[in-house]
Amino acid sequence: MINGKRIAVVMPAYNAEKTLQATVGEVPELVDVCILVDDHSKDQTVDLAHRLGLLVFQHDRNYGYGRNQQTCYREALAAGADVVIMLHPDYQYTPLLITAMASMVAYDVYDVVLGSRIIGGRAMLGGMPIYKYIANRLLTAFENLFLGVKLSEYHTGYRAFSRKVLTDLPLLENSDDFVFDNQMLAQCVHFGFRIGEVSCPTKYFEEASSINFRRSVEYGFGVLATTLEFALQRFGLIHLPRFSDKGRKLGDGGETYYAARTDTVRPA
């Protein structure tokens, strides 16, 4: 706990067997519950997660990264979390920043905290491909212009959220694919949540997950579309459920559960 707030780490996983133990090994002891949601991996991710003492849920098929996050946040809320940190189990982002990021939310400094690879200027030294770095900078500049904020990047997979963010945002209106991340941040801006950033070193290596060039291009076009939709919504030209108080939320009744809990005893 931090400041009396229950802390949960959630890991959206797919074929993370090779990097999961290293990631979990650096999660601070102050974390109250560590949840892994497996998106129907083909390796031994689930078995390893059990051995590491995680609370494990497994999708009945591969639904995609966005749907995985929805399950992560739903189960973290069900576990009573006040602060939720989304950490990829591929060991690209250091878990050692969890304390700092969670504290910024637990002490009500920010509602959302992002682990930025860009602040500090060491992203490419960590192995980020040059095309991804350039695309990151161009897309971020475009988004800052139309969203009216000034973030160093929108594309990090390392994020901390308050419970209120996860219950108030209409997350069920978002994509099941990678652009979910971007849509969620656009929602945070639209609904007025405070967003902070911390500098986060990152590592690119063979075992770490990374989408290929084609999927990166698809993601980029999805980011552009999300940004333009945000702007059109702001000007009153369109009205999307994604940016509406009436959009479907995690706490709404009637949603379908796609994950089965695969352990029998909740970790201490």
Q: What is the pLDDT of residue 268?
A: 27
Report the C-alpha gap between 229 and 239 in whole angstroms: 9
Q: How far is CA 43 from the centre of its chain?
A: 22
Q: What is the pLDDT of residue 131?
A: 84
Q: Tens of pLDDT along 39-54?
A: 999 999 999 999 999 9
Q: % helix / strand / coil in the chain, to the nearest 5?
A: 40, 15, 45
For the chain, the straight-line distance linking the first and the last C-alpha, in angstroms and rounded, comes to: 13
Q: What is the pLDDT of residue 132?
A: 85
What residues in the chain have per-residue pLDDT under 70?
Answer: 205-211, 253-268
Q: What is the pLDDT of residue 225?
A: 96
Tell whether pTM > 0.85.
yes
Domain ranges for the chain:
7-245
Q: CA triplet 200, 203, 205: central angle to 5 degrees?
A: 165
Q: What is the pLDDT of residue 264?
A: 38
The class (CATH top level) of 7-245 is alpha beta
